[in-house]
């Protein structure tokens, strides 16, 4: 536990360190281009909220029309501070949906993080689910208290039924 706290403090210190005046400006990377939707899929949006520096939070899955599909607990198998890909488990009333969430790049301004997601597997109503899309991530806005991964929005197309 102490090692994890020290590692998080180190990452936070690096992020807060001012850039050298003679350091080259990193190139601005555009968000990833959208992939074609899976056959028979519909547009979906997943909103995930994590407490600061935690890997367990809440999710809400909706269709493009705003229809609530499911909601419940979201868990990640680690964080983007130390790895580029995490496996996200969404446990709701209709079943469990497992997503692979891949970070593309960190950028200095909003959104703090962006990348792609893909359905890996599911149980219950999601046993035959397929889907993919893009995601953005940002802090909740509490200066000096939060992490850049607290509020995440995953948008894409999925066949969940």
8 Å CB contact between 107 and 28:
yes
For the residues 138-143, what does the mean pLDDT come to? 77
pLDDT at 130 over 70: yes
61 within a domain of the structure (yes/no) = yes
138 within a domain of the structure (yes/no) = yes
120 within a domain of the structure (yes/no) = yes
- What residues pair up with 105 in beta bridges, in sequence order? 114
- What residues pair up with 103 in beta bridges, in sequence order? 115
Spatial distance between the Cα atoms of 127 and 123, rounded to a whole number of angstroms: 4
Strands 68-76 and 95-106: unpaired
Spatial distance between the Cα atoms of 43 and 149, rounded to a whole number of angstroms: 23
34 within a domain of the structure (yes/no) = no
Confidence of residue 27 (pLDDT cuts 50, 70, 90): low
Instruction: Please state, rounded to an integer, the average pLDDT across all residues of the chain.
Output: 79
Q: Which domain holds residue 135?
A: 41-159
Cα 158 versus chain centre, distance: 16
33 within a domain of the structure (yes/no) = no
pTM beyond cutoff 0.75 = no
Report residue 124 as tokens.
């219950």
32 within a domain of the structure (yes/no) = no
**Domain count of the fold of the chain:** 1
Report residue 94 as tokens.
């209709």
């Amino acid at each position: 536990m102490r090692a994890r706290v020290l590692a998080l403090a180190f990452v936070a210190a690096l992020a807060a360190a001012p850039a050298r005046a003679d350091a080259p400006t990193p190139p601005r990377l555009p968000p990833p281009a959208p992939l074609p939707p899976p056959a028979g899929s519909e547009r979906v949006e997943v909103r995930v909220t994590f407490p600061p520096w935690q890997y367990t939070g809440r999710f809400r899955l909706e269709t493009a029309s705003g229809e609530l599909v499911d909601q419940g607990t979201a868990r990640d198998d680690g964080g983007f501070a130390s790895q580029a890909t995490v496996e996200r488990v969404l446990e709701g009333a209709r079943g469990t949906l497992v997503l692979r969430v891949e970070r593309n790049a960190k950028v200095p301004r909003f959104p703090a993080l962006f990348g792609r997601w893909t359905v890996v597997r599911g149980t219950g109503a999601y046993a035959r689910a397929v889907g993919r899309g893009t995601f953005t991530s940002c802090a909740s806005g509490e200066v000096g208290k939060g992490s850049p991964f607290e509020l995440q929005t995953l948008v894409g197309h999925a066949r969940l039924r």
